[in-house]
Amino acid sequence: MIHVHHLAGCAPTPLAHYLKALGVLRLVSEQADRDARGWWDGDRFRLATRLSQEELDNFILHDYRPTPLVSPWNKGSGFFLKNDPGLRPVEASNSPRFSAYREGIKASRALLEDISSADQKIRDIKAETKVRGLSGAERGRLRNSEDYKTRLRQADRRFKQLKANLIPDLRLNWRGPHREWLDVAMVLESDGDPKYPALLGTGGNDGRLDFTNNFMKRLGELFSLDDGSGKPKPEAPGWVLGALWGEPVPGHIRGQPVGQYLPGTAGGANNANGPDSGSIVNPADFVLMLEGAIAFTSHAVRRFGSSESSRAASPFAVNASAAAYASASLDDESARGEQWMPLWSRPSSYFELRRLLAEGRAQVGAQSAREPLDLARAAKRLGTTRGIKAFQRYGYIERNGQTNLAVPLGRFDVKEGSEHLACMDDLDAWLRRLSRVTRDRGAPALLAVAEKSLVDSLIAVTEGSQTPEQWQRVLICLGEIEQVMTHGSGFGAGPIPRLRPEWVAASNDGSAEFRLALAFALQRGLHRERHPVTDPIRRHWLPLDPKRPQQFATDGTDSAARLKAAPEVVMHGRRGLDDAVALIERRVVEESQRAGRHLPLMAALRASASRTDLSSLLSGGIDLDSVMALAPALMALDRNAWARQRIRIESPASSDRPDEAWLAIRLCTLPWPLRTNSGFELDIGTDPALIRRLANGDAASAVAIALRRLSAAGVRSTVRAGTVPPNTARLWAAAIAFPITRRTAERFLYRLDPSKE
């Protein structure tokens, strides 16, 4: 008969309760029921096993054989004290359930004789300054004497040399279950140096807290060690009920350390009703928690396949990123990183779980996942195929002073990926460069804040339903980063790389603002009649290298490079209307310098401003700031790929039409001669004075200039004059920055002069 247990004491948060669930599954599978299965149902762990609830409790209390967790490489492990209160009782116990533990301790002591002697030598030297009867001055003279310093330095050097050789010796000689803890607590690089996964601190200890020594102490609180029986103590059944089933526990152990895994009971400031409090721990929680940590075997991996230093690769562990959680601070990006704990929804054996965790070194494309965003994308692509429904994200960061805690950073739900998720591949290399730049000591704080906002938005897109509004937020963040770079610092990552056309399909929300932003961003100039030169407008937003338009134009050496001053950069991202007007004014100046006659701003294929959207813009119904916030990132779209794609941006039909006075101005600012189907040709060069008058708020003079030029070209317009407030006049000038097609220009002409139709 199979019993399905709802383990209310095991939850995704805090980390101790997550590891406890894995510990129960592991111990039952290895020691009682090999066919046991476990999975997550909501915020609780379910266990399917042939053991009933009573049998499961009895297994933990009477039959469970603790894994021999020993850390002889740590001073606090108990091996360097003659009668350590944690290690000595376990070592002296005759209970069969601790036989494997005794073997692990014995295997450790066999390699510790020289190290113990070296450690005792250090203690003896330090004890010289603690002799009774010495005055403070005498102690100070002794500590500062050259003889004392030399002896202590030599003793410490010998201890470190012996300790450095210890770990390779342990890995070479250890066999049995105590080896499991070694493989979880550290990995050895090719040069023999140990690296420590953040899950277990630094080799099984966190500061002065040694996990294994405290594990043995908690075992001594649960089981009788001195009578040889190993039976549970009277308080143990209550603790097991609390650990497994979430039952109220009558008496916790107070004042004992709990480490980083239980922030809520670790004690300290603001942890109770008073200003300070001590820690509280259920011994069964602590024991089962470390038993579950055994599942996270680590390996040494080399990032990027280069000579970069190897690092400990614990399953689903990445660098820390202060993004995508409410309490994020730039100071959270510690070297300890963060780890995502999988929550799977289908019954799995412990051995299947081990295979899952062995695959936890995820990749995005050909690169290993190094950042939370990388892991989010990998999880989105592969998580559902492994039965993972979500990840609980933990950061190993400082809280409550300088205490390192495993802080829950939120839940990442794994759903089916969007068809547009591949768009993020365009940013892979650039994001890595950006991350290096923002973590540089001299990087501007504004850039770090902008990068955090970008990562927030990218993770939100990866996790969520991926609405166009979410994708637009990514585009806006990309533009904000480039805006910070144009200030002259933090530009080492380079401008946004080329983006595939699918970005348009992903971020199109059907709004006039988006259509106008796309039309604005993709327009370009076209000058020289024999050998036309395509001239995108992106150079008016960023100082780009003319020969390498995907790089910034810089002066100076690589180590002291600075952005080159570029007079053509006239858009600064402060106010949408000002940027649009500045673009028109700059293009008119450049065209005059080339002795050109037309405004060199042509619409891209399938990306032009419609009459309906222009009418809304001119009537004040368009948020021009939103339009120009989207435009910078859209300028990075690959124009050649866009021309090959068949993505259409449809504008809704409407009877609204722009003001006729503005139509007269627009016909005088075309990028090409207009030839209609009826044979009429309209070729009016752009008059810089017209643009200047509009930019200065003088619509009446601008309309007058336009009407004279149209009349000279044979257009008999019914418009005789036009005047609007100065602010509206500048809006008229800004509207010229949104390109139209020849067909739209013809319709404008026919409206002004129906006889030409």
pLDDT tens column, 152-163: 999 999 888 887
The answer to whether the beta carbons of residues 624 and 617 sit under 8 Å apart is yes
> What's the domain count of the chain?
4
Contacts of residue 160, defined as CB under 8 A and 6 or more positions apart, other chains included, come to: none
Domain span at 737: 502-756
**pLDDT tens-digit map of 3-48:** 999 999 999 999 999 999 999 999 999 999 999 999 999 899 999 9
**Residue 602 reports pLDDT greater than 80:** yes
Domain boundary among 176, 201, 216: 176
Same domain, 453 and 544: no
Same domain, 671 and 539: yes
Query: Within a domain: residue 361?
Result: yes
Query: Within a domain: residue 353?
Result: yes
Query: Within a domain: residue 407?
Result: yes
Helix axes 15-31, 283-293, angle to 10 degrees: 70
Same domain, 323 and 372: yes
What's the mean per-residue pLDDT of the chain? 86
Domain boundary among 124, 144, 176: 176
Query: Within a domain: residue 252?
Result: no
Same domain, 382 and 440: no
Query: Which of the 8 DSSP states describes residue 510?
Result: S
The answer to whether the beta carbons of residues 7 and 57 sit under 8 Å apart is no
The residue behind tokens 């068809």 is 419
As a whole-number percent, the residues of the chain with pLDDT over 70 amount to 89
pLDDT band at residue 360, thresholds of 50, 70 and 90?
Answer: low
> What gap in Å lies between CA 35 and CA 1, rounded to an integer?
12
Closest by Cα among 556, 15, 63 to 290: 15
Query: Which of the 8 DSSP states describes residue 570?
Result: -
Same domain, 599 and 745: yes
Same domain, 414 and 515: no
Closest by Cα among 5, 8, 97 to 51: 5
Closest by Cα among 168, 198, 179, 167 to 313: 198
Closest by Cα among 361, 353, 359 to 312: 361
Same domain, 455 and 416: no
Query: Within a domain: residue 168?
Result: yes
**pLDDT tens-digit map of 393-417:** 998 887 655 567 888 988 888 876 6
User: Across 314-387, where does the E strand assignment appear?
Assistant: 317-318, 338-344, 363-364, 367-368
Query: Within a domain: residue 564?
Result: yes
Same domain, 319 and 351: yes
Query: Within a domain: residue 463?
Result: yes
The residue among 318 and 578 whose pLDDT is bigger is: 578
**Residue 474 reports pLDDT greater than 90:** yes
Same domain, 461 and 535: no
Same domain, 327 and 433: no
Entry field: residues in the chain: 757
Same domain, 518 and 455: no
The answer to whether the beta carbons of residues 19 and 261 sit under 8 Å apart is yes
Alpha-helical runs (H) found in 422-511: 428-438, 445-463, 468-485, 502-507
Average pLDDT of span 175-192: 82
Query: Within a domain: residue 116?
Result: yes
pLDDT of amino acid 15: 95
pLDDT of amino acid 582: 97
Lookup: tokens for 123: 């203690």
Same domain, 590 and 456: no
> What gap in Å lies between CA 301 and CA 523, rounded to an integer?
47
Query: What is the value of pTM for the model shown?
Result: 0.81
